[in-house]
Amino acid sequence: MLQTADWQSDRVSDAEVIRAELVRTTEGKDARIGVAVLTDCGDLATINGDEPLPMQSVYKFPQALAVAKYCVDNGISFSDTIEIAASQLHTDTYSPMRDRYGVRDLRLPIAELLAYSVQQSDNNACDVLFDLIGGTGYANDYIHGLGFDDIHIVSTEDDMHKDTGLCYANSSTAAAMARLLRYFDAALRDSSSKYEYIASLMETCTTGTDRLARGIGDETMVFGHKTGTGDRNAEGKIIAVNDVGYVHLANGRRYYIAVFVADSGYDMDESSALIAEVARIVAGFL
């Protein structure tokens, strides 16, 4: 394993080896796979890094950043509560919030809604937050305004549930998502307590523990991530099994990784294991 002092000079050769290992792991698979790995020093390795792929619930990460921006600009605290109508608590979707409170009119703090959305990937909480900021357009414009034009947020969770084809419209390239993670970690998280709160949610995310988390290694000091998981498409393939995150190592280095597995012909366990293997390869060199 490289020592810190060697990292800058050996980064190019490491990138070549990592990419070769990633190609070996991903080629010939019955899925469309996008991988991007960046470090605090710069780009490292990508596989199909510029191919747009469906985000599924990964988009709850950039949405959370948009919610923070909206609240900052409008003098809203995360402790402020908002009304939730019973009609917003759909029964045909994944929602720990609905399971806890039942289908009834509620008033909950924005912080709790973000926790449900980011930590637990709650679809109803996500759509309530879209209603708060005025829809997907606000989140999309905010992310594009930051310079991440390859990330597209156009459909709510309810929209995607009604028309699974819209899952493909909510897309990102692996490279763009890894860059957004790096921007968040390096520039946003310490700029406001709201972004710090989002980081705390990423770092306590309870979904997808068999994906990146399984492969990142024992030297990790900080790990924050967001998963995305889709239904099966008309061909019987899983639309998306994704995990994206940032890693702080004990040696002081940081890296950012996005793995998208789209239209997977494998089951959920096999698809998740592929993400874990990618993470293991990367961790072995960093």
From the list 9, 57, 95, 264, the catalytic residue is 57
Question: pLDDT tens digit string along 77-136?
Answer: 999 999 999 999 999 999 999 999 999 999 999 999 999 999 999 999 999 999 999 999
- Report helix, strand or coil for 12: helix
Q: Domain range for residue 39?
A: 4-285
Q: What pLDDT, on a 0 to 100 scale, did the predictor assign at position 13?
A: 63
CB 255 within 8 A of CB 39: yes
The pLDDT > 90 percentage for the chain reads: 87
CB 35 within 8 A of CB 48: yes
Q: What pLDDT, on a 0 to 100 scale, did the predictor assign at position 285?
A: 84
CB 206 within 8 A of CB 57: no
Token code pair at residue 278: 């990618």
Distance CA 174, CA 36 (A): 5
Q: Is residue 57 annotated as part of the catalytic site, yes or no?
A: yes
Q: What pLDDT, on a 0 to 100 scale, did the predictor assign at position 12?
A: 55
Q: How many domains does the chain have?
A: 1
Q: What pLDDT, on a 0 to 100 scale, did the predictor assign at position 7?
A: 41
Q: What pLDDT, on a 0 to 100 scale, did the predictor assign at position 9?
A: 43
Tokens 């293991």 — which residue?
Answer: 280
CATH number at residue 99: 3.40.710.10
- Report helix, strand or coil for 162: helix
Q: How many Cβ atoms from other residues are within 10 Å of residue 100's Cβ? A: 9
Q: Which residues in the chain show pLDDT less than 70?
A: 1-13
Cβ partners under 8 Å of residue 87, min gap 6: none
Q: What pLDDT, on a 0 to 100 scale, did the predictor assign at position 3?
A: 35
Q: What pLDDT, on a 0 to 100 scale, did the predictor assign at position 164?
A: 92
- Report helix, strand or coil for 278: helix
pTM: 0.94
